[in-house]
Structure 1
Amino acid sequence: MLDKETKQNLEQYLALIESPIVFSVSLDTSENSQKLAEFTKEIAEMSPKIS
């Protein structure tokens, strides 16, 4: 979902996270919910402090 350059830039910021972050999202079966699930999963996989 994120392009390579955006992902590299984001990784620099995510390295600065000091406290855990937990995403809490409400999803349904819509296409937008699926995109949101994919996006939050992709971000969470970039840092052990994000879940």
Structure 2
Amino acid sequence: MDIEGFIERWSGSGGSEMATAQSFAVELTELLGVPRPNVSDADGDFLDYRF
């Protein structure tokens, strides 16, 4: 997806912030070409960048 498509897709979002935040973050990281947030684990690793 290109920047214009991303903006168009998310500018019309009608969901609550809590319902769409993770999807938005994942798509934004893909658009920017950076790693997705890490998966949380029971040991508390990856505390710096996770949902």
User: How does the TM-score come out when normalised to structure 1?
Assistant: 0.35
User: How does the TM-score come out when normalised to structure 2?
Assistant: 0.35
Higher relative contact order (CA 8 A, sep 6+): 1
Which of the pair has more CA radius of gyration?
Answer: 2
